[in-house]
Amino acid sequence: MLFSIITATYNSAATIRQTLASVQAQTYPHIEHWVMDGGSTDDTLSIVQHEFPHVHIVQEQDKGFYDAINKGIQRATGDVICILNSDDFYAHPCVLEQIAHQFQQSQADAVYGDLLYVAFNNTQQIVRKWISGNYRRTSFLYGWMPPHPSFFVHRRCYEQWGGFRLELGSAADYELMLRFLYKHEANVVYLPEVCVHMRTGGMSNSSWKNRLLANQNDRKAWKVNDLTPYWFTLYLKPLRKIKQFILH
């Protein structure tokens, strides 16, 4: 089972080395890694080319993060698609080995795990702990979603149901998981293990304005799929994050 890891970059020199090193350290041997660069002007590409020569690099203009990821999915040849942001990194060297075991044991369409938010300049400092918990189809109605960097999906899902919808902005990952898991009822398995460390500073939570826009796009995610949430579903979604701060 080949894993295709896709990382979108744009002036990511400050963090890309740790991201790629965490992939290189994986004990699972069947990996290809694609870096989709949107035109970096810093040392991002130099770091990748000189220190990680096995990584496939594509440099071309894109329409943002999710467009770059879609382009990476189109180029990927693996059985499983993994999305690792350019400022995130795998929690330990056995992450992909554990994920592969889950796929092989269950024949699932997707596997998801947990995630730690860490301080941007001090990755030893835990800010939030996202424990996903077991999935039930009604979970989305109560504001649930798994963390997208810890969401590993068989490529057949993208082939059957499509990629990220760019018009959904920062909610594109939520919409894709809603479409795959809730609408199409993909077979999914939960691995109760922290898979990824994510630096704080994501675009949807960087301001109240962005959080409001994200909530509006969350609503669109249901609408574009001809689905109807409960009246409280999208109020619960941001409120669930409070528990993540308490857990850490």
Domain ranges (residues) in the chain: 3-247
pLDDT tens for the chain, 248 residues: list them.
999 999 999 999 999 999 999 999 999 999 999 999 999 999 999 999 999 999 999 999 999 999 999 999 999 999 999 999 999 999 999 999 999 999 999 999 999 999 999 999 999 999 999 999 999 999 999 999 999 999 999 999 999 999 999 999 999 999 999 999 999 999 999 999 999 999 997 554 455 566 677 789 999 999 999 999 999 999 999 888 877 777 66
- Measured distance CA(86)–CA(23) in Å, rounded: 11
Q: Identify the three-state secondary structure at position 21.
A: helix
At the topology level of CATH, where does 3-247 sit? Spore Coat Polysaccharide Biosynthesis Protein SpsA; Chain A (3.90.550)
- Measured distance CA(166)–CA(63) in Å, rounded: 8
Task: Return the ∠ at Cα 36 (arms to 32 and 107), rounded to 5°.
Answer: 40
pTM for this predicted structure: 0.93
Listed residue (187, 174, 150) closest to 224, CA to CA: 174
Contact yes or no for 180/109 (Cβ under 8 A): yes
33, β-bridge pairs? 5
How would you class 159 by CB atoms within 10 Å of its CB: exposed for 0-12, middle for 13-18, buried for 19 or more?
Answer: exposed
User: In 10 A of CB 121, how many CB atoms?
Assistant: 9
